[in-house]
Structure formats: structure tokens, C-alpha cells
Amino acid sequence: MSGGHLSARIEKALGSRVTQSSALPVGFGLEGLELRLADGRHLAVKARSGRAGPSLEIEAYMLRELARLSELPVPHVHYADADLLVMDFIETDGGGITESLERHAGALIAQLHAAPQERFGYARDTLIGPLPQANPQAERWVPFFRDHRLLHMAEHANAEGSLPALLMQRIERLAGRLEDYLVEPAFPSLLHGDLWTGNVLVRGGRIAGFVDPAIYCGSPEIELAFTTMFGTFGRAFFEAYQGSMRLEPGFHEVRSGLYNLYPTLVHVRLFGASYLARIDQTLSTLGF
């Protein structure tokens, strides 16, 4: 989609003239723009060319659900359809993730997780990055994680040729024994679903916003594990989180690595074989 045509679409959708426009990196083959409108709005835009990639309406839905159901700071959605997402631009200052920022994040994520939801899964399927994320509603967490997270992603990776058969067999053996390792949470929690550093926006030593969600209702532990995968948050985050949400023993020692098999499989599908060693190491540590 040409920049001129995109600006014209946005002007028509929002009823205000574009006064400034610059490129914004957004990834996964999408076009991104940072815009200012004549009415003063400062906006971030994602657009897809043709019909390539998932519908951007799904990302808009996830942001609106987080805004509706939580106090998590997320960008307000101004307009969305399958090919276009227009939301608030969140100002950042390039600051790093400090101990005080980790504590702020820990308190926000604990608040998100503390509100009981009815069932695991969600009212509709969502996305993790550009990949479909199936969310059939379920009463128990461990079978949901086994079938719709671990095995679902592994089977797709194997079918696409990115996950070797021997690793697939080892994952299947683990899947048959998940009850030995995982615990059922007290209730389903709403999850952001993709808490790596690039999705955490910082300004003035505080969390300015969380973006690019992959929402569903699940165990808080899978979200907490994800924050350790690339070192997004550390000790201060977990201390603040546990100020209001209890963490069962064995999370850091065993369950964190097991849960991170899911996002690692996502990375295998998106970025290739360099992530296979992580899967092998985790399975070996667990005895598979």
C-alpha cells in the first residue's frame, strides 16, 4: 500500500488531515507509520499489503480486550479493519529496564493476573506474532496447555519442517507426563501473552505501555516464564509480583523452562533452527 494511499485511507477513517508522517518499524512484513493529524492526535499505524499475513483486526481486538478488562496501559485503538490498525502512538524516551521499572511492571502484571476469569482459552482465537493461537475454552489448564499450546505449536513446526522428528517425539513424551510437572492455577487469568522486552515501552523510568499482545486466559506462570526467556525482567519484577500474587515452589527450577518451550517453538517457526538447541536443552534437563 503506497504511503499516499495509506494516508488518504486514514484521513477518511478518522476525519482529520495527516500533517506529519514518518516510517515506523513494525516487523512481520507490515508497513508502519508514525503520524500526526491536524486535530492533534499522535498515532501509530500498521498496514498490510494485499492479503498477506493475519488480519490486523485481531490485534485491535486484543488491545481492546486488555483495555476493557484490565488497567494495563495499552494504546487506544482509533480504527481497525483486516488491513489497517490505527492506535495511539506511545511516547518513549529510550530508557532501559531498571529495578524500579521492573517493580512497576511486576505490580501491573500482578494486577492483570489477579482478576479471576471464567475459563481457560478465550471467546475467540487470537495470534502470537503473526501465528494463529487457538483458544477453545476449557475447564482445566494442563490439558489446555498440552493440546493447544505445546503440541499445537510443535505439530505445526514439525509439519512445516522446522522441528525435527526426534525432537517432536521427545515433546510428545513430555506432553504425556505434564501432570507430573505442572500445577493447576487457582483460577484462569487474563494474560498479555507476549511479554518480551520489545513489547515493553518505557518513559521516565515507568512502564508507558505494553504492545503487541497475544491474549488468552491461562496460568500466570506461562506469562511469568516468558519474561525470563530473553531476560526481560528479573528479581525485582518477581518480588513486586509476589507482593500480591503467590508463586508456587518449583516455578524457577522446573516449570519456567517447560513453559518456555511454547514461545521457543514460536521462534523456531518464525526464525528457524537456531532456537532448536534451547528445546533440546530444556527437554534434556527434564529428562526427555
Which of the residues are catalytic?
194
Q: How many Å apart are CA 74 and CA 132, to the nearest integer?
A: 21
Closest to 44 (Cα-Cα) out of 6, 70, 72, 15: 6
Which of these, 153, 124, 186, lies nearest to 261 by C-alpha position? 153
Distance (Å, whole) CA 240 – CA 110: 8
**H or E segment at 269?**
helix 261-271
Dihedral over Cα of 249, 69, 135, 166: its sign: negative
Q: Where are the alpha helices (DSSP H) in 16-164?
A: 56-69, 99-114, 141-145, 151-160
Please report which helix (H) or strand (E) contains residue 4, including its range.
helix 3-14
Taking residue 127's Cβ as centre, other Cβ atoms within 10 Å add up to 22
- Spatial contact of 233 and 106, defined as CB atoms under 8 Å apart: yes
Q: What distance in Å separates the CA atoms of residue 268 and residue 257, rounded to the nearest whole number? A: 16
Q: Give the CA count within 13 Å in the CB-facing half-sphere of 222.
A: 30
Spatial separation of the C-alpha atoms in residues 277 and 266, rounded to whole Å = 14
